[in-house]
Amino acid sequence: MTTLPVALTLNAGSSSLKFSLFDISGAPTQMAIGLVENIGKQPRLKADLGEALPAVARELKPEDAVDHTAALATVLALLRGSFPGAKASVVGHRVVHGGPHFAEPMVVTDQVMAELKRLSPFAPIHQPHNIAGIEAARAAFPEALQVACFDTAFHRHHPKANDVFALPREYYDKGIRRYGFHGLSYEYVSGELKRIAPQIHAGRVVVAHLGNGASMCGILGGRSVASTMGFTALDGLPMGTRCGQVDPGVIFYMVQQEGRSIDEVRDIFYTKSGLLGLSGISNDMRILESAGVPEANEAIDYFVFRIRRELGGLAAALGGLDALVFCGGIGENSRKIRRRICDAMDWIGLELDHDRNDKNARVISTDFSRARIMVVPTNEEIVIARAAKRLSAMPEAAAAE
């Protein structure tokens, strides 16, 4: 049997492991995508294995995904059974935090691994799971190259004024900086703009990544200038369960006046706030859109209000606006939210074409709109697969292993 060179991409969350398989014999093409969710509890496996094979959606035995290592073994059994000729020579990992120095994807050496562990306190909710995913993959594929791709990397060239908080200087040196996240998504969208609309790519673009996690990024000539997320993936826009921007004084109040522990406050900010907290109903935009009750509407009102406000701020940072681009589950699918964000935005040059918006077209602004409005479905996995292929083709990368 001939072997097919493939790259496996992994995105390990707190209780989930998302995976994709790419044929990398030419430009990476996706062969399979899926996830194990509810790891450590009542795990489920879902996978789309391409047109030739049936999709998978089944409950797993708890021991099949008791942790990330077991979940990866389950995924590998599925992929090996489905694609017997495929040989993974490289595994690409989504890693949330690359700290001040990792501005590019890196081959994971022991030294890089040590640095990723050192960065864990910067992203305590995400980084340990990303590291667990890398460790599981290293054990499962000792001979494969492991490549780490960072959500912070796209933003590492922010101008200094947008990299700092107005705290005593020593904190900047300690790494307390405005990192920004969702960088793999922004890199993909920016790359797509370069391909399909090069004159827009060369200009002033705001990308709104609106999913369960949500942020916006101001991009000038393909480079991130400012983003709504800061030191952690908590800042900026309200999200499914995360609060977005709040006055830090609220933390002091909760701790000092309400007697809450820091862990409780963190839990409130990360898991009980955002759309869920405001509505008291759900973190899921589809449910809120169809709920038709004042609490759900208020949560949506706040979401839209913050996006519109940040759009103005990012356009100011860019010195104007040539395009607003939507991506993420809400940005790609919710006509209503896009319409409300763009309503009466002609002052900034945006004029929505309602018909195009209702059809989920790629360009949804009118022909007369001064700035273009677009929908570009994001694909973080392919950014990882491309980096994995690129680094595995570099002799010094192989030597680093």
Q: Which residues are catalytic?
A: 151
Q: Which of 41, 61, 101, 286 binds ligand ADP (CB under 6 A)?
A: 286
* Nearest CB to ligand ADP, comparing residues 289 and 346: 289
Nearest to 300 by CA among 361, 251, 261, 341: 341
Classify residue 207 by its DSSP letter. Answer: E
The site map against ligand ADP for 361-400 (x = CB under 6 A) is: ----------------------------------------
Decide: is 351 part of the binding site for ligand ADP (CB under 6 A).
Answer: no
Burial environment of residue 243 by CB neighbours within 10 A (0 to 12, 13 to 18, 19 or more): buried
DSSP state of 124: T
- Toward ligand ADP, which CB reaches closer, 213 or 218? 213
The smaller minimum CB distance to ligand ADP, of residues 273 and 334, is found at 334
For ligand ADP, give the closer residue by CB, 28 or 240: 240
* Part of the chain binding ligand ADP (CB under 6 A), chosen from 76-84, 172-180, 191-199, 285-293: 285-293
238 is an interface residue for ligand ADP by CB under 6 A: no
Q: For residues 237 and 371, which CB has a smaller minimum distance to ligand ADP in the complex?
A: 237
The helices-and-strands tally (H runs, E runs) of the chain is 16, 13
Q: Least Å distance between CB 297 and ligand ADP?
A: 14
Helix axes of 127-140 and 110-118: crossing angle, nearest 10 degrees:
160
CA dihedral over 186, 189, 195, 199, signed as positive or negative: negative
74, 82, 333, 379: residue in contact with ligand ADP (rule CB under 6 A)? 333
Match 């667990």 to its residue by tokens: 132
- Contact letters (x/-) for ligand ADP, 179-218, by CB under 6 A? --------------------------------xxx-----
Residue number of the CB closest to ligand ADP reads: 329
Contact with ligand ADP (CB under 6 A) among 284, 298, 346, 351: 284
Asked if 96 interacts with ligand ADP (CB under 6 A), we say no
φ, ψ of residue 306 to 5 degrees: the values are -70, -35
SS3 assignment, position 363? strand
Number of Cβ atoms within 10 Å of the Cβ of 379: 19
Q: Integer distance in angstroms from the first to the last C-alpha of the chain?
A: 28
Dihedral angle over CA of 12, 13, 17, 20, nearest 10? -60
Contacts with ligand ADP, 302-331, as mask; x by CB under 6 A: --------------------------xxx-
> Binding-site residue total for ligand ADP (CB under 6 A)?
13
Give the integer Cα–Cα distance in Å for 259 and 263.
Answer: 12
In the complex, what is the shortest distance from the CB of residue 7 to ligand ADP, in angstroms, rounded to a whole number? 20
CA distance 15 to 326: 27
334 makes contact with ligand ADP (CB under 6 A): yes
Q: H or E segment at 294? A: helix 294-318
- To the nearest whole angstrom, how small is the minimum distance from the Cβ of residue 229 to ligand ADP? 13
> Smallest gap, in angstroms, from Cβ of residue 165 to ligand ADP?
25
Stretch touching ligand ADP by CB under 6 A, among 134-142, 241-249, 280-288, 292-300? 280-288
Q: Up-side HSE of residue 207: CA atoms within 13 Å toward CB? A: 34
**Minimal distance, residue 236 CB to ligand ADP, in Å:** 14
Pairing of strands 4-12, 86-95: parallel
Which residue in the block uniquely carries the two structure tokens 């949330």? 96
Number of Cβ within 10 Å of residue 213's Cβ equals 22
**Strand 56-59, strand 44-48: pairing:** antiparallel
Tally Cβ neighbours within 10 Å of residue 72: 26
- Output the CA angle 243-246-252, nearest 5 degrees: 110
CB of 178 to ligand ADP, least distance (A): 21
- 277 touches ligand ADP by CB under 6 A: no
Q: Which is nearer to ligand ADP, 284 or 351 (CB)?
A: 284
**Residue 285 touches ligand ADP, criterion: CB under 6 A:** yes
Which residue ranges make up the site for ligand ADP (CB under 6 A)? 211-213, 240, 284-286, 289, 328-330, 333-334
